[in-house]
Amino acid sequence: MPELPEVETVRAQLEPVLTGRRFVRVEINDSRLVRPYEPAEVAAELEGERVAAVERRGKYVIVRFDSDRVLLIHLRMTGSLRHSRTGLREDPHRRAVVRLDDGSDVAYRDVRRFGTWLVLEPGALAPYLATRLGDEPLDALFTAARLGERLAKRRAPIKAALLDQRTLAGLGNIYVDEALWRARIHPLRPAESIDRVELRRLHKAIRAALEAGIARQGSTLRDYALPDGSSGSMQNEFKVYGRGGEPCDRCGTPIAKTKVGGRGTWFCPTCQPESGQASASASSRPSRSRRQSSV
Ligand SMILES: [Zn+2]
C-alpha cells in the first residue's frame, strides 16, 4: 500500500501537470470508487472544475479547485494515477479518466478496487480529516513531545499505535518497521513504555525513514507506479522490511520476522530487544532516562 513517501511523490508529479488545468471530461466506470454516490453524478460535478493546487495529507491526495471544492483521493492498496499526453492504452483495471483542457489525460488504475474518490464541498475537508488523521510527521509542529502525548497510556504495541492514522498520518507497514529499526525499538513494546530518550530517537527515526523514502521516489512493490510511468527505488534501501534472514546493517544479526496485529513485521532481535533498550544505546545516557516497566 502506498504510504506517505509514495503519496507525496505522486502529489509532486501531479502538481505541475494539474495546477491551472480544467477538468473538461470525467469518466468514472467503477461504482466502488465513489460509493455511495453515483459515478455519473460525481463525474458531472467534477467537469468544469479548475485545479488551484495539489496537496497531500497523510496518505490522501487533495486536488483543490478554484471553487474551493476538493477531490480527495485515497489510493489504498493498489491505486495509481498516470498522466498521458499521447492517449491511453487499453487497461482492464482503469477505473476513471480525467481529460484536461490541454488535451492530456489523467487515468486512475486500481487492480483491487479499494481506492476512493470523494468530492467535498468548500469547508468540508478540514472536519473530514480532523477525525481521521493525527499530526503530519514531517510538519514542524510534530515534535518528540507531541509524539509522547499521542502514545501515552496506550498499551497497544508501538507498531500498532504508529499504524493508527490518528496517532500520526501517513505511516504504514513499511515505514513503521524501518523507523522502529532506526530507533532501535522492538515493534511489540507497549506504546506507553517508550521513554523520553527513546521518544526522541523515534521522532528522528520516523522523519529520517520517510525522508529517505521521498528522496528515492517511494518504494516500488507490486502496483505502485508514478504518474509519469517511472517507479521508485526505496525498496533497494530497506533496512528490515521484507529482509527476513538477511544480516542487519548495524550488527550483522539475521533480521527476524514476526506478526503484529496480523501484519508481517521485520526487526533486528539484537538492535531491537523486546525487553527495552539495546546495549548499543549506552551512548544516549541511559542513566538519565527513567525506565518504565512494561505492563
Ligand atoms: Zn542489528
| Cell digits of residue 160 | 500498532
Cα(115) to centroid(ligand 1), Å: 36
* 262: CB partners within 8 A, 6+ apart: none
The span from the CA of 179 to the CA of 187, in Å, is 10
pLDDT tens column, 233-261: 999 899 999 999 999 999 999 999 999 99
pLDDT tens column, 16-69: 999 999 999 999 999 999 999 999 999 999 999 999 999 999 999 999 999 999
Question: Is residue 289 very low, low, confident or very high in pLDDT (cuts 50, 70, 90)?
Answer: very low
* 117: CB partners within 8 A, 6+ apart: 28, 33, 34, 42, 71, 72, 73, 96, 108
For residue 12, give the amino acid letter: A
Cα(285) to centroid(ligand 1), Å: 20
Cα(178) to centroid(ligand 1), Å: 12
Report the SS3 class of residue 11.
helix
Could you confirm whether 3 is annotated as catalytic?
yes
Could you confirm whether 59 is annotated as catalytic?
yes
Burial 123-139 (b: 16+ CB within 10 A, else e): eebeebbeeebbbbbbe
Of the residues 3, 6, 8, 178, which is catalytic? 3
Cα(295) to centroid(ligand 1), Å: 25
Could you confirm whether 32 is annotated as catalytic?
no
Of the residues 21, 59, 69, 184, which is catalytic? 59
> What pTM value is reported for the model?
0.91
| Cell digits of residue 292 | 518504565
Cα(269) to centroid(ligand 1), Å: 7
Residues with C-beta atoms within 5 A of ion ligand 1: 248, 250-251, 253, 268, 270-271
Report the SS3 class of residue 177.
helix
Cα(201) to centroid(ligand 1), Å: 16
| Cell digits of residue 8 | 507525496
